[in-house]
Amino acid sequence: AQKVTQTQTSISVMEKTTVTMDCVYETQDSSYFLFWYKQTASGEIVFLIRQDSYKKENATVGHYSLNFQKPKSSIGLIITATQIEDSAVYFCAMREGGGGYKVVFGSGTRLLVSP
């Protein structure tokens, strides 16, 4: 069964610094898709970035990038030049590639960015 684990419950950083959030996953499938979502203080959940398991290049979108380490079943989210508005809860998620479209999430990491 697929499983996603985020062990960091909260992280505090200063503005303009770089932060990395950890995520490890378990799956039996050789093909899968990994996602990061952000939940803002208002409760809104939005998609940030995605990594396909067959791609070797780490995905990058704006100031978000991924550190995909397939042998370690790890997909870290890196936020560079953090801003106050990056303060939120970040969820890691996975969908297996077998066509079932089941998407499971980790427990989330709360990020606090201070001025």
Partner 1 sequence: EAAVTQSPRNKVTVTGGNVTLSCRQTNSHNYMYWYRQDTGHGLRLIHYSYGAGNLQIGDVPDGYKATRTTQEDFFLLLELASPSQTSLYFCASSDDWGGGQNTLYFGAGTRLSVL
Lookup result for tokens 């801003």: 83
Report DSSP letters for 36-96, one per residue.
EEEE-TT--EEEEEEEETT--SPPEETTEEEEEEGGGTEEEEEE-S--GGG-EEEEEEEEE
Which lies closer to partner 1 via its Cβ, residue 36 or residue 82? 36
The residue count for binding partner 1 (CB under 8 A) is 23
Establish if 110 lies at the interface with partner 1 (CB under 8 A). no
The least CB distance from residue 6 to partner 1, in Å, is 7
Out of 13, 22, 50, 67, point to the residue binding partner 1 (CB under 8 A).
50
Work out which of 66, 82, 106, 113 binds partner 1, going by CB under 8 A. 106
